[in-house]
Amino acid sequence: MNGERSDALVLLGATGDLAHRKIYPALKGLVRRGVLDVPVVGVSRSGWNLEQFRARVQDSLVQRTGEAASPEAQKLLSLLRYVDGDYNDAATFTRLRQSLGPAVRPLFYLAIPPSLFGSVAKFLGASGCVAGARVVVEKPFGRDLAGARDLNRTLHEVLPESSIFRIDHFLGKEPVQNLLYFRFANSFLEPIWNRNFIESVQITMAEAIGLEGRGSFYEEVGAIRDVVQNHLLEVVASLAMDPPVGYWGEAQRDERIKVLRAISPFTGASLVRGQFRGYRDEKGVAPESEVETYAAMQLHLNSWRWQGVPFFIRTGKRLPVTATEVMVILKAPPQQLFDEPVPPRSNYFRFRLGPDKVAIAVGARAKTPGERMAGEEVELYVCNASPEAREAYERLIGDAMAGDATLFARQDGVEAAWAIVDPVINQGGPVYRYEPGSWGPREADRMVAAYGGWYDPPADGGAGNGAA
């Protein structure tokens, strides 16, 4: 923990899409849990007043939570304040400081375009707003390694590292937290969680949707910047990290960063990029765009635990399902004893990380009835979905207000992740076309051919191809 709880919450970008979809429902959840009872100041350049801002928050609660008349919703609305003004005008931040009144430990949430981070940070510093404050920064943290370093330098001109909370909502998701818990709360896993027993690891983050009107944004980002550099590398770190000396504080972040530093930078030989047919017809997309909507790659971890174990990751839009799933495949038994050979990939650990289905499952074989020593695939299944689970933004905003940075990215971790993808994000090379609804370009299949092919997560959350 880093000091006392924040005594005000300031949301810059208060009328934007992220605030409407994610942040206001999260704030209602914090009020319900009794951990948010301080002023909530919205800042925007929309030309609005407080009543219009309240109406926007109320609309968010109706659309995202189904109601806005509960006591907690009304309490949230009563906490709202509003400051309208341009982010490049010092007078906006003078009014913001005045609206904070006696607050001395505000939390500033920058839900604004990254291009504004630097100027906003400077204005916050010049207006006296950041003394004792914490700042939450939304991804992307730069566009490449050089950009991330520039952003960090700008933030550090007005804030110490301990006051900067770089939010990646994936780390706050309950299934990702459960992956860590399952790993380190069960003593049967640690002896086999290494190169001696694990053959390969696959991580798939598939989306059935396309761009949903965000063509201009996606043209600037692409799949590697959008989810590989952050979300998927965070999952790799959760899978591969050594046990931390403790869960809280810097111990967990130290171990995660060790994993990122052990990953060899990507090369063209370890990467296949794809683009779904029809992408160039989307609004905001260049007619000859080579931006990838699909990426598959092989990672090499240069560590004692994982040397020689390939990690395959892939992500894509307009794939058959929307699912994020991890398949940790164990090596086959050393000797075939029975009437029929044990098929490959019979033993595995499978982690379904969402978005709507959550599971931890273990693949095994059991004997079928009869005289022959023959078996069948079975899956020992644990479902961990819970209606009481907090949404990621609720968890992370609450942690930031408490000064707990455990689930936030640290500067050296952000730079280590960029160092992995930096060699290929602006690299030329083929971008293969694939049909919407398929599993991506067939060129990616060669990458995993020696390991039984890709494991394709099913829509229902059960075992997919190549599993029980």
Active-site residues, by number, are 231
How far is 294 from 228, CA to CA, in rounded Å? 10
Find, among 102, 465, 422, 65, the residue nearest to 271 by Cα.
Answer: 422
Task: Give the total residue count for the chain.
Answer: 468
Q: Is 351 left (phi over 0), alpha (psi -120 to 50) or beta?
A: beta
How far is 189 from 184, CA to CA, in rounded Å? 8
How far is 109 from 396, CA to CA, in rounded Å? 11
How far is 380 from 180, CA to CA, in rounded Å? 19
- Please report the sign of the dihedral spanned by the C-alpha atoms of residue 433, residue 434, residue 436, residue 440: negative
- Residue type, position 263, single letter: I
Cα 88 vs. chain centroid, distance in angstroms?
A: 30
Find, among 236, 213, 233, the residue nearest to 224 by Cα.
Answer: 233
Q: Residues with Cβ < 8 Å from 242, sequence gap 6 or more?
A: 255, 258, 305
How far is 356 from 341, CA to CA, in rounded Å? 36
